[in-house]
Structures are given as structure tokens and as C-alpha cells.
Structure 1
Amino acid sequence: MAGKAAWGRVRTVSTPAPSATATARANQATARHELFFFNYFRLGQAAVYTALAFRPEHMAWPALPDPVLARGMALAYLFAALVMVARTRTMLHRPVLAVSIGLVLDIAAAVLALILMHDVRMGVAMMLAVNIATGALLLPLRLSMFFAAVATLAMLGHSLFDVDQPGSSDRELVEYGLFGAAYFACASLCYVLGRNIRATEALAEQRGIDLANLSQVNELIIRRLKTGVLLVDEGNRIHQLNESAWMLMGNPAADQRDLGSLAPELSRRLYHWRTSGKLDESATMLADGTPEVVPRFSRLAPNDDSHVLIFLDDTSLVSRRAEELTLSSLGRLSASIAHEIRNPLAAIHYSAQLLAESTELADTDVRMVEIINNHCVRLNEIIENILQLSRRERSRPETLDLGRWVHDFVSEYRQGNDLGADILRAVSGSEPVAAVADPQHLQQVIWNLVQNALRYGRMPSEPARVMVVARHSEAGVPILEVIDRGPGIAPKVAAQIFEPFFTTHEYGTGLGLYLARQMTEANQAALEYVRVAGGGSCFRISLTPPARTPAAAPVAARA
């Protein structure tokens, strides 16, 4: 919906370990950056070798014993470096292989440069140290040490077998030995550094994911709050609001953000609170047709009026909560009273039955005994309804075939009740209608609805005609309907029939339909009244479909 946004903050003190996914992403990101740096450094290194090999003729340094071979080596290394740079993206998923190939090229090029350009041996050895260190950021420790050892042996081997420079082998041997130690040190340090970098990036990735998840949870929680929440700045402009606030303010458009024009009374109270610090706790209506609310204000930071949170408490919700508490207390009180009444009532009823069996009673006494029995039955029904109000038994849902269930129910009802001229029949299609519900609760609800339909759903001087229908709605929802052909229910009365203790009958308790709705809601279903075109009433129960298809799910029908 346009104009709705949620705002919230959630503090967390947990520090979860990085997940495998976050670690893999961090490793891939680290490999991408370091592999690009590695290949571009190699390209620069090859460019340096090429520049030295193609030095002008008038420059005597560095000495090139074989210029053609040196230039060929430099060009080959430059071409290999260009290929490695071009294939960097395709080798990101195999960084170890890419780095290993690159280090082999680097070590081979360095040894050839030492042979063909001996004067720059110190620079070549130093640049090779950068190659070894960069490779250690991406390679496992053993592989890093292996390449450091290969580079060291290559340097030492060149010094031992260099016959073109007599008398300098001892000095170079010491120099290359020191460079070898540096290679091992750089590889070890860069391996540790790379591991720490990957762990840090994985933790940062995980924290980012956790923060995004927390933000979504906060948004969902505040969006679904029954209390309206608004964030207003010092210019009286609304920055964010949740769904409840959006509805309590009359569903404003997305571009309407000025609090003064949307809710003048709320803006006035906010100004009064900002200037005086006093809160007006009286209820007010922010828009036509919306419930009354009690606004509360809170600063985001102490002594900072730049942004204010406004909470709108719906008074109708408070009234409903109070009504639920009252009904709960009344149910417990009534249950205790009903238990005390049931015992003397049973004694009266039993005594009346014994008295009715006497053969010496006059006709007037027989009539009095009949009245006593009738009222005892009525009082017992009232007590049963009150006890049901206090029990609130938990549902035990099963998967039912509603078509079979309604036929079994109607057959059982006919056997236990004398219908006389009244008509009660079950209607269902050829296809099975599967639903999930507690069969005991469903039995009580339908029995209550059928009783009401047979009692009130009849035209004057005509028998009642009642149907119990099992079908699918247009959306595929399983539905049970109790339909009669009586005069129907007036719209004003229909709006209150599910309220507790509401009745239009002088002997009614007003709890039957209320308890029926409570039982349907306990089974994740909905009970509603639907007026029938042409006269009559329909009480419709929309049930929950099974998780699996009716053919695959076990179907249990009430026997």
C-alpha cells in the first residue's frame, strides 16, 4: 500500500560465528582482489624486464651477454603476463591453480633474468619476494612454503652453477641465502595476514547479513503492530509510519506527509507536548470512520526534538481486551455457580420424573410436573453452555472428508431427534471435500447451527427446511453451510448475533453462536452469517484445507 513504511531499532548482543556461506563469499572476494593485484604486478614486472632487455645501444648497463635471448625471454614473459591478466575473471573460481601457474612463471622468469641480465640480480630477487608474498595470501601454508623453497633453491642453484662470474659465487650465495630466508618470512607472514583478512571479511559479511535480517524482522514486527507508530521530524513532516498508523489516519496517500494537514489535532497535541512537556491522554479521532486513539510521544534521544516517535493506541483494542478479560472472569465465575446449581437441579428433575409416574395425579398436577421438567431441561442447557464457555478445550484436528461427514451427521441427527414434518438433508458433490478440523468441535458447532435453523428458520405454519452443504468455494477453500428457508435475520440483528449474551428469544442465553464461533476459530476456521437471496439464512464455516492433496492425505470421517 502506498504511504506505508516501518521504522524500528533492535539491539543485539550476540556475536554469531561466520557461516560457511559468508566465509566462502569472503574468500572469493579476497581472491578476486588479490588475484587482480597479483596479475597486474606481474604485468608491470614483465614490462620492467622488457625495458631492460630493449635498452638503447648507447647504454652499457645492464650488461646483456646475449641480447637476442634476453629480449625473447622478456617478450615471452610479457605475453604470458598479458594472458594471465586477460583470464583473471575466468580463473576466479580456481584461485589456487591460477596463483600456482603464475608463481611457476615468475620463478622461471626470475632465474632466466638472473642469467641473461646479471647486473640487475638484486632487483629481480626483490621483485620475486613480492610474488612469493602475494601468492601466500591466497595459497595454503604448505603450498606457500613450497614455492618459497623452490624460489630459494633456484636462486642458490644459479649462484652455484654460474660459471660466467668467477670469484663472486660466495658473495652471491650469501645474498641469495638471505633472500631465501626473506621468502620464507614473507610467505609465512602473508599467509597469516591473508587468513586474518578472510576471517575478518567473513565476519563482516555475516554481520551484514545479520543486520539485514534484523532490519527485516524489525520492519515486519513494527509493521504488524496493532499500535500505530509514526516518526515525525521537527518540521512536522512524517518520515515513516506502520500499517496501523496508516489506517488510523484514514489511509492517506503516499505524497501526503505533513502531519498538520493530515491530523490537525495530533499536530496540536505534539506541539503542546514539545513546548510544555504535558501529555493530553484523552481519546481523539484522527479521521472520519476510524477508531479513537490515545497518542503518546517519545524523543529518539534525550533533549532532542529533531525527531519524535508517536504511538497511537487504538481504544477499541483496549475495549476488546477488557471485554475478553471480563468474559474470561465471568466464565470462571459462572462455571463455579453452574456446578453448584447442577446437583439440586438434578434432584428436582429426578423427583419430578418420579412424581409424573404416579397414577393418582390430577390433570392440573400433571401439567405442573410437565412444566417443571421442561424448565429443568432448559436450565440444564444453560448450564452446559456456561460450562462450555469456561472449558475452552484445545482442538485435536484431523483430516475429514466433509461429504461423508455431513451425511453421517444428518443420519445421526435424525436417529437422535424427532424431526416430525421438518426436513433436514445433506448436500455434497461427487468430488471429495477434504478439510482439517476437530470432529468433536465440528459436531457441536453444526449441531448448534442445525438446532437454531430448525427452531427459528421456518416460515409461519410451515415445516422447516434445512440443508447441511459441503462444497468448495471458488477459491478452493472447503466450506460447510447450514442453510434454511426461513424469514432470515434482520441486518441490525445479524451484526450482533455472534456477541456473547445477545439473544432475541425470551428463553435464549445468547451463548450458542458465540461458542460456535469460538470453536471454529480454535480450529483455524471462520464462521459467518450470509443472507440468502429470496429468503432464508446461511451460516458458513470456511475450514482449513489439508497440507496434501485429498488423494494423498488420509481421510477420516466421523462414524
Structure 2
Amino acid sequence: MAAPRPAPAPNVPPQRRELYFFTLYRVLEAALLALVAFSPMGEYLLQISEPTLLRSVVVLYMVMAIALLVASYRSQLSPAQQAAIGLGTDLVVAALVLAATSGSQGGIALLLLFNVGAGALILPQRAGLGFASAAALVVLADSLYVRAMDPFNARPIAESVMFSVTYLATAVLCELLSRQMRESQALAERRGEELANQAEINELVIRRMRTGILVVDGNHQVKICNEAAWALLGKPSPERKQLADVAPELHKALARWRGGRGEIPKAMTLAEGAPEVLPRFVALGLSDNLYLIFLEDSRVFSGRAEELTLATLGRLSASIAHEIRNPLAAINYSVQLLEESENLPEADRRLLEIIHTQCQRMNGIVQDILGLARRERSQPETLDLAQFVRRFVDEYRASHPLERDILQAVAERPTLAMADPRHLHQVVTILVTNALTYGRLPDEPARVTVAVRSGPPGAPPELNVIDRGPGIPAAVAEQIFTPFYTTSEHGTGLGLYIARQLCEANQCSLTYQPVPGGGSCFRIVLPPGMNLVQNQEAGSPGGRLNLA
């Protein structure tokens, strides 16, 4: 829906433009000489001594001038080459006109002054000075020839010398001006390229922004629409330019804002199936009559509010948990002392067991909260998942009596992955503990499998914790990774949340997958690891490096 860009103006080099005006001036010179040569008034303007020569030279000069004018914008020759040809023609014609007339030295010399200056603007410095010196020689030679043939009607030599000095000075000044013009043009081109690149970068940034951006004119016609705004508007056709047609509610809100009512735009849905947006309006200028519309996805605000709430809650919970640990430790220690009493009735002993169990539960909650608030940065390394899983299962069996429950590892071949071993151990411990606690059918032992799955080369490895319990209902499965969400009266609702946070810190993903036939599967997808293997069969001492 963005307005099409105007076609860029043709890039005409400055020397080509100067050459065009130079050749146009040459046509004017040829026309003036033709007026002198062919008009009856020519005898009153100049003393023509050789009319046939003059007319022949003027005709050829007119033809040459027109040809150079056409070539100035069609020829493949460079501007400097065409200027050199034209200026050489001017000098030859000037010399022949001076030879065919008498008393025309001043006028011809003045006409040559512009030619010398224009040539110096286009030609290199040495060429410009060379043609200026040639023009000076033409004028001086004519003056000396006239003085030799008719000394009584000859013009002063000083006049010719002054013309010569003027040619040289004009060539130098015009060459300096040309150099400055070229430098300014080069600087302008560089600045233009930088501005063009910056404009492309700005346009790309605007198009890729998650915030929807619209630019409309005073008639509420859409001029610019980035990708996010296009999606929020329901992906309308590019032909639909009127805001009233694309988003009527947004059109009315902008009209009310322009009316100066001071109303704060409310959240609105601009298309079916699109999320709610919060519009904001900004006037780009009184003269341009353009308005900028920001379309903020309300889900972004909700996510930011949730992150802020969780961060605040985490800091507050960590502070409270730290203060709870001391009295909790005192209560637990007192319970242990009371349990050592010999005259304690059985009913009181049962109450002490309840107190001790609940103290352990509260201590677990405190540990989870402190672990969440003080989570260390991950330090991933390459590890063999098969070896890690087998060692984990052995250690878990040794430290947790399973009785009738079954915990087994399935890892057929070495599988390399990148992860922090401490974080991965914590995640798998949470998943296995949950599976042993909740992944069991009534009156049956839990059967938990920690399996490693490796796909084709280059595919990310997977670590699955599978149980054969009743599974998780779909409505509950959508909330299980939410902090403090639990369906058990003994749970804290932080275990799976902490596990997912640790996975994300290691660039892993943790998802829940229902198992056909009953059961649950928590799948961890890890980045593939890198294995540097020395190929001893190769002839080189260093061998070959393989990536696994």
C-alpha cells in the first residue's frame, strides 16, 4: 500500500551540460559571422577583403557548429575531446576570418574570450592553457601581420598583448572554477549516495518494525504502510488507499483526534482475526498535511506488563524467601529436638512428623524461588547426551529410593549436544521428579524413561522424559509452564517454569508432547555439539577435522 516512488531524474554530468551550452554559443557565433558575410549590412560592419574566403569559412563553421551541437548529447566522445575539437575549430576559423577582413581584430578577440573560458572549464589544465596560448598567438600573429603589411592602419601591439594576458588569466580562473565545481559535484554525489543508502535503511527498518506504521494525508489516503500495519489491517489489497475503506474505526478515531477533542484513542480491532491495537497519532507538519499513525499490538503491552510483574514478583519473593529461611530452620531444628524426647505420646509424634514434612516442603519452595531469582548465566559445553543420561539415571537411583518405581535410560549411540551440564541436570531432575510423582496410574508403579534421540546429521538432538501415567489434559497443558500454576496441593508451580527458563538460557526448547496410548513426554531440543576428530589414516600429521 506504500505510494510508488517517483522516477529519479536523469543524472546529467556537469561537463556534458557545460559542453551543450558551449556548442550552443558556437552556433550563435556562426550566425553572427553569417550575418556579416551574407548580409548587405556586412560591408558597414567590417571591411571584407576576401568575401569568397569569408563566406566559405562561415558556411563550414555553421555546419561544424551544428554538428558539434548534435554531438554534445549523442556522441560517444568524452566532453573533453569534443571541447578540444570545437575549440580548435574556433581558433582556425578566427584566424581565417581575421585574414579575410580588416579591422575585426577586437571583435574576434572578444568572441574568442568566451570560447577560451568555456574550454578551460571542460578541458584539463594543460589543455586549457595550451588553447589559451594558441588564441593569444592568433591575435598576436594577426597584429604583427597587419603591422607589417599596413603599418598606418595597424592596431597597437599592447592591445593584442592585453588580449593574450586576458586569455591566459581567463583559462586559469575557469580551470580553478572547474576544479571546485568537480569537487563540489563529487561531494554532492557522495552525500547523495549516503542519503540514498540511509533512506533505504530507514525504509527497511520501518518495514521490519513490529510496530505498525501508517502515513496518511489530509484526505486520509494511505501513503506509507509497513508490513506490521498491513498485517494488523487484515492484509488489504494495495489498490485500497482510503483509510475509511481499509479501517473505518481508525479513520473515525483520526478524524476525532484532528478535531481537537482531546480524546485518547481506545484499543480497537482493525480486521477479523487480528489482535487489538492501540493507535497513536502524530502530525508530521502543518504545511505537509501528513499524519503518522502508530499501531501498537496490545499483546506487546500485555507481555511487557507480565514481564515487569514477574520480575517484581521474583525480587519480592526472593526477599521474602530469604527472610523465611531463618525461622523455618529454627522450627525444623526444634522439631528434631522434640522427636528425640522419650516420653512423647504417639499423637504428638504424628503431629511433629506433619510439621517436619511441611517444613521440608516450605524449604523446597524457598529453594525454588531463590534459584529462580539468582539463576547463574549458562556456560554451555559439548557433552555426550547418551553418557550424561546413563550417569544421571544411576545417580538418581542411588540418591532417591524408587521402591517399585522404574527409571531407565535409553541411549543407543553417542549423541553430542551443546548445553550447560549443571543446568541440564537441574532440568532433567525436575522432569524426572514430576514424572515419578504425577506420571503414574492408581495403585501402579511409575515407569519413567529418559531417552536420547538423534536424527540425521545436522539435526538437533532430543532428550525425552517419558512416563506411562494418565497424561495431562489439553486445557492444563497450555498452562503448565506458567509460574505458580499447579494442580497439586503439594506443588509450588515453579518447577516446570524454572526448567523452561533454564532451557531458554541454553538456547534449548522444552515442550510437552502427549504420548499415544496414555502418558506424557517432555521433550528438550538441544543445539548440536561439535566433535573434533583426528583422522589418523590421513597422510598429514594433523589429520582431518570432522564435525558431528
TM-score of the two chains, using structure 2 as the length reference? 0.71
State the match for 1:167 in structure 2: 151
State the match for 1:425 in structure 2: 410
**Higher RCO (C-alpha 8 Å, min separation 6):** 1
Would you say 1:513 and 2:492 are equivalent positions? Answer: no
Unmatched 5+ residue regions in structure 1? 8-24
Would you say 1:478 and 2:486 are equivalent positions? Answer: no
**What is the Cα deviation at residue 242 of structure 1?**
3.9
Return the alpha-carbon distance in structure 2 between the equivalents of residues 149 and 277 of structure 1.
Answer: 77
Count residues with an aligned counterpart. 521
State the match for 1:29 in structure 2: 13
Cα distance 1:333–1:84, how it changes in 2: closer, same or farther (>3 A)? same
Return the alpha-carbon distance in structure 2 between the equivalents of residues 249 and 36 of structure 1.
Answer: 53
- Seq. identity, %: 41
State the match for 2:304 in structure 1: 321
Larger radius of gyration: 2
Q: 1:425 corresponds to which letter in structure 2?
A: V
SS, match of residue 504 in structure 1: coil
Return the alpha-carbon distance in structure 2 between the equivalents of residues 554 and 348 of structure 1.
Answer: 59
Q: 2:312 corresponds to which letter in structure 1?
A: S
**What is the Cα deviation at residue 325 of structure 1?**
1.5
Q: How does 1:143-542 map to 2 (within 5 A)?
A: 144-145=128-129, 147-157=131-141, 159-160=143-144, 165-167=149-151, 171=155, 173-232=157-216, 237-260=221-244, 262-273=246-257, 277-279=261-263, 282-301=266-285, 308-345=291-328, 378-391=361-374, 393-395=376-378, 401=382, 404-418=383-397, 421-426=406-411, 441=423, 444-453=426-435, 455-457=437-439, 461=444, 462-471=446-455, 478=460, 480-486=462-468, 487-522=470-505, 526-531=509-514, 536-540=519-523
Cα distance 1:372–1:554, how it changes in 2: closer, same or farther (>3 A)? farther
Confirm or deny: 8 A CA contact 2:532 2:547 kept in the other structure: no
Q: 2:476 corresponds to which letter in structure 1?
A: V
Q: 1:320 corresponds to which letter in structure 2?
A: G
Cα distance 1:52–1:223, how it changes in 2: closer, same or farther (>3 A)? closer
Cα distance 1:323–1:415, how it changes in 2: closer, same or farther (>3 A)? same
TM-superposition CA deviations, 1:397-434 (whole Å, max 9, x none): x6x55xx432343244234311863122346688x77x
TM-superposition CA deviations, 1:315-363 (whole Å, max 9, x none): 4333322222221111111112222333455566678789999999999
TM-superposition CA deviations, 1:154-197 (whole Å, max 9, x none): 54355446786342796263333222232233224423433443
Per mean C-alpha deviation after superposition, the further-off stretch among 334-343 and 437-446 is 437-446
**What is the Cα deviation at residue 522 of structure 1?**
4.3
Would you say 1:132 and 2:116 are equivalent positions? Answer: yes
Confirm or deny: 8 A CA contact 1:428 1:469 kept in the other structure: no
SS, match of residue 171 in structure 1: coil
Confirm or deny: 8 A CA contact 2:321 2:370 kept in the other structure: yes
Cα distance 1:502–1:360, how it changes in 2: closer, same or farther (>3 A)? same
Return the alpha-carbon distance in structure 2 between the equivalents of residues 122 and 90 of structure 1.
Answer: 36
Q: How does 1:31-46 map to 2 (within 5 A)?
A: 31-38=15-22, 40=23, 44=27
Return the alpha-carbon distance in structure 2 between the equivalents of residues 529 and 320 of structure 1.
Answer: 22
Unmatched 5+ residue regions in structure 2? 5-9, 535-543
Return the alpha-carbon distance in structure 1 between the equivalents of residues 545 and 284 of structure 2.
Answer: 55
SS, match of residue 409 in structure 2: strand
SS, match of residue 447 in structure 2: coil
Confirm or deny: 8 A CA contact 1:427 1:467 kept in the other structure: no
Return the alpha-carbon distance in structure 1 between the equivalents of residues 49 and 141 of structure 2.
Answer: 21
SS, match of residue 464 in structure 1: strand
State the match for 2:92 in structure 1: 109
Q: 1:482 corresponds to which letter in structure 2?
A: N
**What is the Cα deviation at residue 125 of structure 1?**
3.5
Q: 1:484 corresponds to which letter in structure 2?
A: I
Cα distance 1:236–1:160, how it changes in 2: closer, same or farther (>3 A)? closer
Confirm or deny: 8 A CA contact 2:407 2:449 kept in the other structure: yes
**What is the Cα deviation at residue 469 of structure 1?**
3.1
SS, match of residue 17 in structure 2: helix
Confirm or deny: 8 A CA contact 1:526 1:542 kept in the other structure: yes
TM-score of the two chains, using structure 1 as the length reference? 0.70
TM-superposition CA deviations, 1:470-524 (whole Å, max 9, x none): 5469xx6635443525454322222222222112333322223323333444455
Per mean C-alpha deviation after superposition, the further-off stretch among 380-389 and 196-205 is 196-205
Confirm or deny: 8 A CA contact 1:410 1:426 kept in the other structure: yes
Confirm or deny: 8 A CA contact 1:406 1:468 kept in the other structure: yes
Per mean C-alpha deviation after superposition, the further-off stretch among 195-204 and 183-192 is 195-204
Cα distance 1:390–1:556, how it changes in 2: closer, same or farther (>3 A)? farther
Cα distance 1:442–1:180, how it changes in 2: closer, same or farther (>3 A)? farther
Confirm or deny: 8 A CA contact 1:274 1:305 kept in the other structure: no
State the match for 1:22 in structure 2: none
Cα distance 1:49–1:251, how it changes in 2: closer, same or farther (>3 A)? closer
Return the alpha-carbon distance in structure 2 between the equivalents of residues 427 and 84 of structure 1.
Answer: 84
Q: 1:179 corresponds to which letter in structure 2?
A: F
Cα distance 1:42–1:238, how it changes in 2: closer, same or farther (>3 A)? closer
State the match for 1:12 in structure 2: none
**What is the Cα deviation at residue 240 of structure 1?**
4.0
Q: 2:388 corresponds to which letter in structure 1?
A: F
Confirm or deny: 8 A CA contact 1:227 1:312 kept in the other structure: yes
Return the alpha-carbon distance in structure 2 between the equivalents of residues 229 and 81 of structure 1.
Answer: 55
Confirm or deny: 8 A CA contact 1:110 1:128 kept in the other structure: no
